[in-house]
Structure 1
Amino acid sequence: MDPDVPLKHARDHVRMGLKVAAQQHMEENFKENAEPKKADVSNSTLSTVPFDSLDVLKETKRAIKEVFGYTLMSKAQAECIPVALQGHDCFVKARTGNGKTLGFLIPAFERLTVGQVSVVVIVHTHSLEDQTLEQATKLLKFRSDIRVGTTKQSASRLCGCEVIIATPGTLKKYLNDTAFALRFSSAQVVVLDEADQLLSSFSGDIKTILSACPNRSQTLLFSATLQETTQKMLSSILQPDYKLVDTVPDGEGASNVQVKQQVLLVPPEMLFQSLFDVIMKAKSCKSSKVMVFLPTVRLVQTLFELFKTLGLEDVYEMHSKVSDGHRRVVVEAFSSLGRGQVMMASDMSARGVDYPDVTHVLQIGPVNQTEGKLSDYHHRIGRTGRGGKPGTAITILGTDEIKYLAAIEKEIGMELERISNNPVGAYKSTLKVLGWNNKALFTAMDKRFLVPGLGLVMRPEYSDKELKKMNIPRSALE
């Protein structure tokens, strides 16, 4: 059959073969990555240091053992908690999912004084505020004399709390209340969780808050990343003898090493079709839980509405425009032990919040490259691979966005694994039906299928190894 004449039947047959090959590839990929695996011991986040070795209150040790059920500290906790317990101001750089919340709560709670505001923890979202409150409440299980509040309460109610967990905007507003400001001035420890984000987006509010507690004895900053702009601000926030505690091993990036980082390059017009296909394959694995990061709130809303219109269940949306009530419902539902769930999210869910057992993180389009924002890549994929568990992060980019891939790889210090379907393999299986030889195959690919049919600019190059595996001579390409 001459490939230069119209071959509608043959074209449909080849397309079907390509579709089947693509489906098999994606199913195998997600089956491999979604099945529970035992984490490699070398990648374990746990240290050999027991919590019992810490010089902290017996009530704290009891809560760690009986409420949290922990015996050993994570490697990050083993490095930062002893330093913080010595009373030093600290900037702690720790990967996501390595127990940083307890890393600052344990030393901070050693400085609690009944009857006065003692510890202030500042976070950047209400979701993280809720999560930190939950952790603090557990840690204080056997300290009935200590009260914890958040900025969801009124300023007058917070005046009676020893621990305040707050978002910066609301806390700054409360400082206009004279009675609250007077009580707040007694704070001894101030913690900035996700310090990079707070100091880049709320620097004015943070300066106002810190100036309102001038007698504090310790300031603790925690973040998975440390941008140059943040580093320049440290001298104005921390004491001159502050400690920089970098818990990330030398030669490794800010992302957890047990997360498989991949990229899928597709023609621009196929971006959302590819995203849809990847989501559906992931959702079909009952052991999977998927987070999808999209560049704008409107895009999150649009894709969520599309999925709901299609009648799909266990799909959620999370962004800045949802109400507090809706957000709490979504957090509770997505944090449950169910599987096959999908959350469409903006970057408000990329930092700090711990959703258990997320197996896949998908993100579409380039990462914002304004100063400090490329680190969002680390925070997004940090929603999976938490606590030493394996995970998969897939970035979907258009072929015209290849320069952004280079920027990401420069940021993380490694190449992302390229994943794609091998169209030649699918075509190869159709040769007998079509009556083509190898040369006719590549001629048809160039003239009909890969370029006009699939929207590619040109036929992809194949290595000698790939061609040998498919039993296709190099001369077939000439």
Structure 2
Amino acid sequence: MTFKELHLINPIQEALNDLGYAAPTSIQEQAIPEVLKGQDLVACAQTGTGKTGAFAIPIINYIHKIVGSAKKAKKIRTLVITPTRELAHQISDSFNDYGKYTNIKSMVIYGGVSQNPQVDQLKKGIDVLIATPGRLLDLHKQGFIDLNHLHHLVLDEADQMLDMGFINDVKKIIKLTPENRQTLMFSATMPIAVRELADAFLTKPKYIIVDPVSSTADNITQKVYFVEKEDKRKLLYHIIKNDGIKNALVFTRTKHGADNVVKALTKQGVTCAAIHGDKTQTSRQSVLEEFKNQEISILVATDIAARGIDIENLPYVINFDLPNISETYVHRIGRTGRAGNSGIALTFCGKDERVYLTEIERLIRMKVKEIKDHPYPWNNESAKVDAKPDLRNKKKKDNSRKSEASKKNKKRWY
């Protein structure tokens, strides 16, 4: 299928041509016709599959017919709720790209910055509002946001919003919108909580599931290094230097860990920076722009902070720490190998993380290739024994208790 077969308005077709997009992705091919019909929708597809275009393109197609000329009064026709500021900006960029030949105006609002510029822009009038939950509720309470003319409500990254504790805010926002709205939910995973939210607030939604989270792209080469925990920073520098890595996203489990990696690499002369929840919004945006422009070569991030990072030509993703949730691994490495490019995902596995790797390999249904030729290896066999020490110790204790009980029983009988 091509975009032309979707019978989209000419301004969108021109914008898609400018972007070099001829054919929709799988999620776009299935979702766009349903959204154009006015159908409520729950769509599940992993990061990097074109989810934003799957709702932005048909929404622009619809709104353009209402907005028409630039003289038409600006009212909020579409509201997109997203969990992070970075994602909000990413979605806004997509609306601007696809709607560049229309008169549709969009804006982003989020907390952590002064509300005054946001309020000024709202007063001028907009068609599409992209917002994080807290700031939206705050400005609505102050009377700066009118949702009475809403046609579309989009809940993007629904699973992440629920994980971050936004469920009550999301429910409040939904109740502020007209009942005859069209509601679209997009999510990378489909936990029970997402289905319950859909059942409660959507009208006979169509479910679309594409590229389940257990799959990893074929164009991503995956490798694992078994390394002692205390040697991970040394190994990271070794790989960066020896492989000549100029652009890589490194994942750590904690904010403190991210800062420590940056300190270690900086001492070795590597240009790098960290992005996590303790950084200010201004700092995070600045660092992200520097990374995109390759002014810094290594960006170290925690999972939540990296959720909105979308870089088409990112060659490397490095799991400095293994995630304890297998699906997170799939989301992480999906940051590379986008838009038809190839990518490399490197993973550092300490002895205490072997059980996580086993679960990941079970989820993705493949064995990650081990790289043995590096200066900081550990004994693979010993780690297999150490992977579940608690279970081993438990068995010993249980056998010991059984032995004692047996002795006592023998004494009773004799």
3-state SS, counterpart of residue 175 of structure 1: helix
Q: For residues 57 and 454 of structure 1, what CA distance do their matches in structure 2 show?
A: 58
CA distance 1:455–1:411, shift in 2 (3 Å): closer
SS in structure 1 at match of 2:141: coil
1:1-400 correspondence to structure 2 within 5 Å: 49-66=1-18, 68-112=19-63, 113-114=66-67, 115-144=74-103, 146-151=104-109, 153-155=117-119, 157-159=121-123, 160-180=125-145, 183-201=146-164, 202-239=166-203, 241-248=204-211, 253-282=214-243, 284-285=244-245, 288-313=246-271, 315-336=272-293, 338=294, 341-369=297-325, 374-400=326-352
Equivalent residue of 1:76, what SS? helix
Q: CA deviation at 1:458?
A: 6.6
CA distance in 2, matches of 1:344, 1:110: 38
Cα distance, 1:350–1:410 mapped onto 2, change above 3 Å? farther
- Give per-residue Cα distances to partners, 1:272-321, cap 9 Å, x unaligned: 32233233334x14xx52110011112212221232233323x2321122
Pair member with larger Rg: 1
Q: Comparing 390-399 with 405-414, which one deviates more in the overlay? A: 405-414
Q: SS where residue 396 of structure 1 aligns?
A: strand
SS state of the match for residue 134, structure 1?
Answer: helix
Give the TM-score taking structure 1 as reference length. Answer: 0.71
Does the Cα contact within 8 Å between 1:74 and 1:99 map onto a contact in 2?
A: yes
- Rounded to whole Å, the distance in 2 between the matches of 1:256 and 1:196 is 21
- Indicate conservation of the 8 Å contact 1:64/1:70, yes or no: yes
Other structure's SS at 1:154 match? helix
Letter in 2 for 1:367: P
For residues 341 and 179 of structure 1, what CA distance do their matches in structure 2 show?
41
* Conservation of the 8 A alpha-carbon contact between 1:350 and 1:383: no
Q: Quote the residue 1:3 is aligned against.
A: none
Shift of 1:456: 4.2
SS at match of 1:72: coil
C-alpha distance in 2 between matches for 1:460 and 1:213: 54
Counterpart residue identity of residue 237, structure 1: F
Aligned counterparts of 2:381 and 2:58: Cα–Cα separation in 1: 59
Q: CA deviation at 1:349?
A: 4.0
Mapped contact 1:59–1:142 kept (Cα < 8 A): yes
Q: In structure 1, give the amino acid aligned to 2:251.
A: F
**Cα distance 1:303–1:267, how it changes in 2: closer, same or farther (>3 A)?**
closer
Distance 1:422 1:349, change over 3 A: closer
Q: Is the 8 A contact 1:185 1:215 kept in 2?
A: no
Q: 1:455 to 1:420 in 2, by over 3 A?
A: closer
Task: Give secondary structure in 2 for the equivalent of 1:392.
Answer: strand
Deviation at 1:139, TM superposition (A): 1.8
Q: Which residue of 2 aligns with 1:414?
A: 366
CA-atom RMSD, angstroms? 2.7
Distance between the aligned counterparts of 2:352 and 2:91, measured in 1? 41
CA contact under 8 A between 1:89 and 1:243: conserved in structure 2? yes
CA displacement at 1:105 relative to structure 2: 0.1
Q: 1:75 to 1:89 in 2, by over 3 A?
A: same
Paired positions, count: 368
Partners of 1:353 and 1:363 in 2: how far apart?
16
Residue 194 of structure 1 and its aligned partner are, at CA, apart by 1.5
Q: Which residue type is aligned with residue 321 of structure 1?
A: D
List runs of 5+ in structure 2 lacking aligned partners: 68-73, 111-116, 385-414
Residues 143 and 100 of structure 1, relative CA distance in 2, 3 Å threshold: same
> Judging changes above 3 Å, is the alpha-carbon distance between structure 1 residues 55 and 276 closer, same or farther for their aligned structure 2 residues?
same
Judging changes above 3 Å, is the alpha-carbon distance between structure 1 residues 237 and 395 closer, same or farther for their aligned structure 2 residues? farther
Q: Which moved more, 1:50-59 or 1:377-386?
A: 50-59
Cα deviation, residue 221, structure 1:
1.7
1:354 Cα deviation after fit: 0.8
Instruction: Give, in whole Å, the separation in 2 of the partners of 1:174 and 1:72.
Output: 39
Higher RCO (C-alpha under 8 Å, 6+ residues apart): 1
Q: CA–CA distance in 2 between the matches of 1:403 and 1:368?
A: 9
Partner of 1:97: helix, strand, or coil? coil
**Which AA in structure 2 matches 1:90?**
L
Give aligned-pair identity as a percent: 29
Q: Which amino acid aligns with 1:77?
A: Q
Which 10-residue stretch deviates more, 378-387 or 358-367?
A: 358-367
Gaps of 5+ in 1: 1-48, 424-452, 462-478
Structure 1 residue 345: Cα displacement: 0.9
Q: Which secondary structure does the structure 1 equivalent of 2:24 belong to? A: strand
